[in-house]
Structure 1
Amino acid sequence: MNLRTILILGALSAFGPLAIDFYLPAFPAMATAFGTDEKHIQLTLAAYFLGLSIGQLAYGPVADRFGRRIPLLTGVGLFTLASLGCAYAPNLEWLIGARFVQALGGCAGMVISRAVVSDKCDAVGSAKVFSQLMLVMGLAPILAPMLGGLLVNLHGWQSIFIALTVFSALASTAVALWLPESLPDYVPRQPLSGALRQYGRLLTDAVYLGHALTGGIAIAGMFAYIAGSPFVFIKLYGVPAEHFGWLFGTNAAGFILVAQVNARLLSKRGPAFLLNRAVWVYLGAGLSLLAVSSLQPAQLWPLLVPLFICIASLGCILPNASACAMNGQGARAGSASAMLGCLQFSVAAGAAALVAALHDGTAVPMALVISLCGLLVVGAAMLTRRLQNARALAQASGEG
């Protein structure tokens, strides 16, 4: 897969995180503009997660039936229009609705980019490409909060959504010009009438479901951090909004670095091996974060160390979990990618809402949700490994 294709797929995959990270520094300004508090502004984040989880289920079967390009261009166009709607929202209710529609459009890039990788690569190749996509995607949480904070200070929170409109228009142009159809002609096109049946088969595939949940719960922990960090950094510890991006970007840099190390290690170890070890690092860092936050330190830095390790470990967990889940899906790769994304962001929406519900003026709610996700991630990964070993043993016995 050439560099231009990887860059385009990375931009499409970044629609989700970019539309989240870009506006995080604007939470206080938006709360003031709409005459509410940040707890209610966080509902716009939960609405976006909900839209991502629902929308992906529609794009998967459509991409398996009509190919990758048409639904992709349709979704990016919807994202563009909804971004304008967000920029000119007259009230909070309108903004919440527009964010939901924005997510319905943006999830097309997330679903179909995974399907394109699956069309072109095997399990190890997919894990390597997903790791490379993390490099492109990782620029979003590094640059977006810094640029978002700058835009808020210079032009107000609406300018963030204008910038998203321009970004999505450029991405649409790149897809139209340089991303050819990846679904081979010899692969049978799956009828839309069989969409529910395909999803039913995926939900009864315990190994697929286990890998999907491992990655999904890990993402939920990351979005608990995304939902809670504006309050913890800006309000609780007094970090200026324009400096928020530097802290956020430092954690994202760790995520990128580990993803690139993971890509190199895949030449020696498979994605399942690396996944089953990285989850323990995630759990250890999450529990350490909870312990530190419960002490309510007067300074921010004691929280930053375990938080950095926790987010960095996701650079190994996410590409490997996705590659393991997508391995061997073939003609139903679009549906498998959609179900994968739906599970991930359904759990993420719940995690973000839980952080908001537990809000108590400290960093404990964010740390508690992250550590809980760590426990569940380890449990899901270990159970999936046992199921996978049992399946391999059964297949070997059958062949024997």
Structure 2
Amino acid sequence: MSKTLHRPVSTQGLAFILILSALMAFTSLSVDIYLPAMPMMSASLHGNTELTITGFLIGFCLAQLVWGPISDRYGRRLPLLIGMTLFIVGSIGCALSQTIAEIVFWRVFQAIGACTGPMLARAMIRDLFSRTRAAQMLSTLIVVMAIAPIAGPIIGGQLILFTSWHAIFWLLAIIGIAMWVALRWLPETLAPEQRIHASLCQVFRNYYDLLKQRQFMRFTLALTFYYVSAYTFITASPFVYINYFHVSAQHFGYYFAVNIVGVMGMSILNRRLVHRFALEKLLKFSVTLSASAMVLLAVTTYFSLGGIGLMMGLVFIFFAMNGVIASVTTAAALDSVPRMTGAASALIGSLQYGSGILSSALLAIFNSGTPLTMALMMASFTLTSFVMSFLAKD
């Protein structure tokens, strides 16, 4: 980056926070914005639109494993710029698609670029800040990035009132272009002397070393299983709310946004909590509350109690805890492997977002046309997250 053309933003300034928050939000925006259009897309493309989420998450999961070691060797900015270019091309491909096969292909392509955003935003935070401060900064990013899953379904729902679902992906391409321009001002956070200068083959072997790090893997798996539950709701909710409870596509975004308000509120509170309590204690409390809510959801859904109101309340509790779980597990996991931050962030992101592949596959196999499959899956995997969090040592 030429300093005569671009003045990097301060790593302590608002612009830096906003850019990193936008990068963190790319996954949510890319998935959530077209959720209200999924039933319409199914009718238009004559296929299973859950596969568009599966395809995106496959690309997102696998590509991070490549970008992580590359960023440890060549720095954070170059992979971000290349990734955003791929995201733009993939979004245009989605907008022009006419079949399920075409859009799934371009969703994979889109994800290969999109994954650089949240993965490298986490790595940049760890480059700059210590364990507790990193958890606080990640909570700040989650508050700002939560705008995406609130605004995304609302914008998508309103767009399909006036135009086709194709317009949603044209909008994503425009957002990608704006993000690419903003990245020109983002500073490099990994100094040359901190980069790994071994061969890329050796760098990729870091994944094997990470898999052997028990503490790192316990925090990572606690987050992964929690996100299997989260993606179960994200994938199933359009059909549960719109088809089963007869919520209109235009109002679906508001129902979905209620959960994100909980995420934002707990993320703000977590900025204070991380200074008063150990990260492990915060994790155990939040995942216990989430698991309790999901077990209650499974029981009440099985007996058809409470209807949509009780379901929304219990899911709200589950998602509110994301404001603690995501930042705490990420900060603690990365702190346990300080010399492999890029690869570690990539592995965390790969498992975290790749968990949605399992969610969508299980929903496709066991979907009963009622909320019961969703509720049972959310309860099962949140309980698994609960077990992993208690295996992590204080």
Would you call these one fold, judging by a TM-score over 0.5? yes
Match of 2:31 in 1: 20
Residue among 362, 375, 378 paired with 1:354: 362
1:186 counterpart SS class: helix
> Any stretches of 5+ residues in structure 2 without a counterpart?
1-11
Letter of the structure 1 residue corresponding to residue 135 of structure 2: A
SS of the residue 1:180 aligns to? coil
CA offsets per residue over residues 331-371 of structure 1, 9 Å max, x none? 42110100111111222210222122211110011111110
In structure 2, give the amino acid aligned to 1:10.
S
Q: 5+ unaligned residues in a row in structure 1: which ranges?
A: 390-400
Give the letter for the 1:364 counterpart.
L
Partner of 1:56 in structure 2? 64
Cα distance, 1:289–1:298 mapped onto 2, change above 3 Å: closer
* Alpha-carbon separation, structure 1, partners of 2:142 and 2:83: 22
CA positional deviation for 1:295: 2.2
Contact 2:216-2:336 within 8 A present in 1 as well: no
Displacement of 1:72 = 0.6
Distance 1:154 1:297, change over 3 A: farther
Q: Distance in 1 between the 2:17 and 2:228 partners?
A: 25
- Please tell me whether the aligned partners of residues 216 and 337 of structure 2 are also in contact (alpha carbons under 8 angstroms): no
| Matches of 2:373 and 2:366, distance apart in 1 | 6
The answer to which of 156-165 and 1-10 deviates more is 1-10
Amino acid at match of 1:184: A
TM-score computed with the length of structure 2 as normaliser: 0.95
* 1:374 maps to which of 358, 378, 382: 382
Kindly, what percent of the aligned residue pairs are identical?
32
Q: CA deviation at 1:302?
A: 2.0
Partner of residue 188, structure 2? 181
Q: Name the residue aligned to 1:5.
A: 16
Partner AA of 2:320 in structure 1: A
After the TM superposition, which residues 61-140 of structure 1 pair with which residues of structure 2 at under 5 Å, given as runs?
A: 61-140=69-148
Tell me, what secondary structure is at the counterpart of 2:115? helix
Letter aligned with residue 113 of structure 2:
G
Taking a change above 3 Å as real, the CA distance of residues 12 and 254 of structure 1, as seen in their structure-2 partners, is same
In structure 1, give the amino acid aligned to 2:152: A
Separation in structure 2 between the aligned mates of residue 139 and residue 190 of structure 1, nearest angstrom: 38
Alignment partners' CA distance in 2, 1:292 and 1:343: 30
Is 1:212 the counterpart of 2:220 in the alignment?
Answer: yes
Aligned 8 A contact 1:217 1:348 in 2: no
- Summarize the alignment of residues 186-335 of structure 1 with structure 2, pairs less than 5 Å apart: 186-191=193-198, 192-297=200-305, 299-335=307-343
Paired residues of 1:13 and 1:110 also in contact (CA < 8 A):
yes
Report the count of equivalent residues: 382
Q: 1:147 aligns with which of 130, 151, 155?
A: 155
1:91 partner letter: T
Q: Is the 8 A contact 1:15 1:109 kept in 2?
A: yes
Q: Normalised by the size of structure 1, how large is the TM-score?
A: 0.93
1:48-105 deviation digits (Å, cap 9, x = unpaired): 1111110100110000011001011000110000000000002110111111111111
Report if the CA contact (8 A) 1:126-1:323 is conserved.
yes
- Of residues 289-298 and 347-356 in structure 1, the stretch that sits farther from structure 2 once superposed is 289-298
Provide the rounded CA distance (Å) in 1 between the counterparts of 2:83 and 2:76.
11
AA paired with 1:20?
V
Q: For residues 268-289 of structure 1, give each alpha carbon's deviation from its aligned partner in whole angstroms, at most 9, with x where no partner exists.
A: 1132221111110010011011
